[in-house]
Chain A
Amino acid sequence: MTKKENFLKGIFSENPIFVALLGLCPTLAVTTSLENAIGMTIAVIFVLVLSNLIISLIMHNKMLADLVKPVRIPVYIVVIATLVTVVEMIMHAYLIELYNSLGIFIPLIVVNCIILGRAEAFASENKPIDSVIDGIGMSLGFGLAIMLISIFREFLGAGVLTIWKSLQIDLRFIFDFLMIEPIDMFIKPAGAFISLGFILAIIIAITNRSKARMAEKEKEVKSNG
C-alpha cells in the first residue's frame, strides 16, 4: 500500500462513519452547527494522530513492546485518556464557548471506537510514519463526514452556516425565496437521526450504482474479448 492510498482510505473506502459506522454518538450529538463539527474534528485529529504515533513508537521498541503486550489495551486507554484530557484543558482555556457547547463529548473521545480501533488494528502493527498518515486520514475522514452532516442540519434547521464564532454564512434568503421558515426539527435530536439516515442511504445508493456500472464494464470487456 502506498502512502497516498494509506491516507485516502480513511477518507473514502474505509471512512469511519459512512462505511464502518463507528463513533456514531459524537456524530449525532455535535452536528447541530458547523462550528461544533469543526471543533470536534480538531480535537479528534490531535488525539488520533498523537495516539497512533505514541502507540506505534511503543510497539516498535522491542523491549517496551514485550513489557506492554499483556496489558496493551489498558495502556492504550491510559495514553488516549491523557491526550483527551490535554485537549480538554487547552480547549477550556482558549476556546471556552466551544468547550461548553461540545460539553461531555470531549471527554467521551476516550471511548470513541475509532481511536482505540486504529490503535489496535493499525498503529500497533505499522511503522510510526505510516501510523501518523493513517491517523490524519482517518480523523479527516471522520471530520469531513461530521462536517457534511452538520452543513445539512444547520442549513435546513437554521438557514445559516456558522464557521467560526461570529463568522457566519447567512443563507436564509433561500428560505425567504421559497417563502418557508427554516425547519427547526433538523437542529433537534430527531433531525440528527433523519439526516444521518438519508445521507447514509444516498451514499449506499451511489456506491451500489458505481459497483453495478463497474460490473457491467467488466462484462463488456469480457464479451468483447
Chain B
Amino acid sequence: MNNGLKSGLVLLMFGLICGLLLAVVNGLTADKIAAEELRLKTQAIEEYYSPDEYFIDIEEFDYGKIDSIFIIKESADSEEILALAYSVSSQGYGGLINVLVVVKNDLTIQDYKVISHTESGPGSGVTDYEFLSKDSPANSLDDFDQMAGATFTSNAMRDIFSIIAERVENDMGGEVDD
C-alpha cells in the first residue's frame, strides 16, 4: 500500500477514536455545563431579583452584541413583566465592555452595572462613572453623559444603551426574541 495513504489512514483512525471519546465526554458534561452557565448568569441579577422570589426567564442570543435578556415576572403564569435585564457587550478602547442594565416596567432604568471591562487610562473609571442617572427613561439617550477624555469608552456605553433604547418598548410588550 502507498505509504502516504497508509499514514493518512492511521491519522484518520486516531482522529476518529479521539472524536468518539470527546463525544462521550461531551455527552456526560453538556447538561452540567449548561446548568453552571445559567447559575453564573443568574448570579449577576440576584442582587436585584432573587430567583427564590421571582420567576426569571432567560432569552439567550448567539449573535450580536446582546448576550442575554432576563425576563422577570411575579410567577411563571403571570402575564405582566416586572422588569427586564439586558446583558450587552460592546467594543471599548481596551476590549469588550460587558454591562448589565435592569429596566423596570415603567421603562425607567432601575440600575446598571459594568460586569467586566479591560479599559485603562482615562476609561478605567468606567465602573464608577454615571453615564445615565438612575430612574432616567431607558428608551431615550437625551440624558446620556459623555465621560470626559474617554471617547471610545463613552461610545461603547452609548452603543450599549442605544441598543436597549431601540428595543425596550417592544420587549416590555412581551415580544422578546432575536
Pick the most buried of B6, B14, B15, B39: most chain A CB atoms within 10 A of its CB. B14
* Interchain CB contact under 8 A, B11 and A71: yes
Asked whether A90 lies within 8 Å of B29 as measured between CB atoms, the reply is: yes
- B141 in contact (CB, < 8 A): no
A39: min CB distance to chain B, Å: 15
The interface stretch among B30-38, B56-64, B97-105, B154-162 is: B30-38
Contact-residue size bin, chain B (C-beta under 8 Å from the other chain): 20 to 34
- The secondary-structure label for the interface of chain B is helix
Complex Cα distance, B18 from A78, in Å, reads 7
Contact B32 A68 (CB under 8 A): no
Cβ-defined contact, A89 with B3, below 8 A: no
Tell me what chain A mostly uses at the interface: helix, strand, loop, or mixed. helix
Please give the distance in Å from B81's CB to the nearest CB on chain A.
29
Question: What are 30 of the A-B contact pairs (CB < 8 Å)?
Answer: A67-B10, A68-B10, A70-B3, A70-B7, A71-B7, A71-B10, A71-B11, A75-B10, A78-B14, A78-B18, A82-B18, A82-B21, A85-B22, A85-B25, A86-B21, A86-B22, A89-B26, A89-B33, A90-B25, A90-B29, A92-B29, A92-B33, A92-B36, A93-B29, A93-B33, A94-B36, A96-B33, A96-B40, A97-B40, A100-B40
Q: Please list the residues of chain B having a beta carbon within 8 angstroms of any beta carbon in chain A.
A: 3, 6-8, 10-11, 14-15, 18, 21-22, 25-26, 29, 32-33, 36-37, 39-40
